Structure 1
C-alpha cells in the first residue's frame, strides 16, 4: 500500500535529480543517489534489434556537466506510477526529451529507491528510449 507521504518524498527525490540534471550540477544529483547507483538503458537500434547497456555513474555525470551552454535540453516528465513497500520503492516515470526546442525521443525512467533511515535514495535507474508513439 502506498503511503502518500512516501510517494511525495519519492517524487521530490526525482524532481531534485532532474533539477540537478537540468542545471548540470553534479552535487545536486549526488544528493539523491546512493553510493553505488546502477545506470542502464535499453531500446531498439535502427535495425530493430534490442540494445542494452550499463553506464558508469561518473561517466553519466561527466557527460551531463560537459554539455555546452549553446545546447539547451529538457527532460519533460509526463507521468508517475509509484509503488512503496517498507524501505523499497519503484517509480515508473514517463518522459519526453527535447534538445534545442526540438523533440528528440521519449520513454520510461524506472527508478528503484531505498529509504536509508528516513532518506529516500535512488539505487538503480534504467530507461527506455525511442521515437514511436511518443507525442500521441
Structure 2
C-alpha cells in the first residue's frame, strides 16, 4: 500500500520572492578577498591548461568523469552538446592548433565548500580571433583545495573583440 499525501503539485505554493529574513540565511554570497583569489587561481590554472594543452594540469584541477556543456549561439539557432570531458582531453595535446583563451570580470558566488564562477571570455585559434562567450565553472572545496567539478560555456561567433 502506498502513501498518498493528497496534494497535487499545482497546490504547492512556489514563492518568487525570498523570505523576509533571507538576509540572515547563511548561504549564497558574492565572494571576495582571499577566498575569491583561491578560486580565481584555479580558473587561471584552467586557462593555462587550455592554452598549453596540459592534460597533467587539467588532471590536477578537474574532477575525473565530469561533463562539459557547450552551447553554440548564432542568429539562426542555438544548440547545446554535452561532452565527456575525459574523452575530449585524451587527444588534446596532439592537436596542432595553438589556443589562447582569456577571461575577465569573474563573478563568484559561494556557499561554504561549493561555488560557481561566471566570466566572459574570448578565444583565439592560431592567434586569430575565433569566438567569445561565457564560461561557467562549478567548484568544490575538498581537503582545503578548490577543484572544478563541472564546467560549461557558450560559443558566440558574432561578437565584439576585446583587446
TM-score under structure 1 length normalisation: 0.88
Aligned counterpart, 1:60:
88
Q: Does 1:124 align with 2:150?
A: yes
Q: Does 1:20 align with 2:49?
A: yes
Separation in structure 2 between the aligned mates of residue 3 and residue 103 of structure 1, nearest angstrom:
31
Per-residue CA shift, 1:89-134, capped at 9, x if unaligned?
0101211111122110000110000111311110110100012333
| Unmatched segments (≥5 aa) in structure 1 | none
Q: Partner of 2:161 in structure 1?
A: 135
SS at match of 2:34: helix
User: RMSD over aligned Cα, in angstroms?
Assistant: 1.7
**Structure of greater relative contact order (alpha carbons < 8 Å, 6+ residues apart):** 1
SS in 1 for 2:44: helix
2: CA distance between counterparts of 1:59 and 1:87? 27
Bigger strand fraction: 1
Q: Residues 3, 102 of structure 1: CA spacing in aligned structure 2 closer, same or farther, 3 A cutoff? A: closer
Q: Is the 8 A contact 2:50 2:99 kept in 1?
A: no
Mapped to 1, the partners of 2:160 and 2:89 lie a distance apart of 26
Flag structure 2 segments of 5+ consecutive residues without an equivalent.
1-28
Pair member with larger Rg: 2
Q: Distance in 2 between matches of 1:88 and 1:58?
A: 22
State how far apart, in whole Å, the 2-side matches of 1:103 and 1:23 are.
Answer: 17
TM-score norm. by structure 2 comes to: 0.74
Aligned length: 133
Q: Distance in 1 between matches of 2:138 and 2:37?
A: 15
Could you tell me whether the CA contact under 8 Å between 1:94 and 1:108 is conserved in 2? yes
Given that residues 104 and 119 in structure 2 are in contact (C-alpha distance below 8 angstroms), is that contact kept between their aligned partners in structure 1? yes
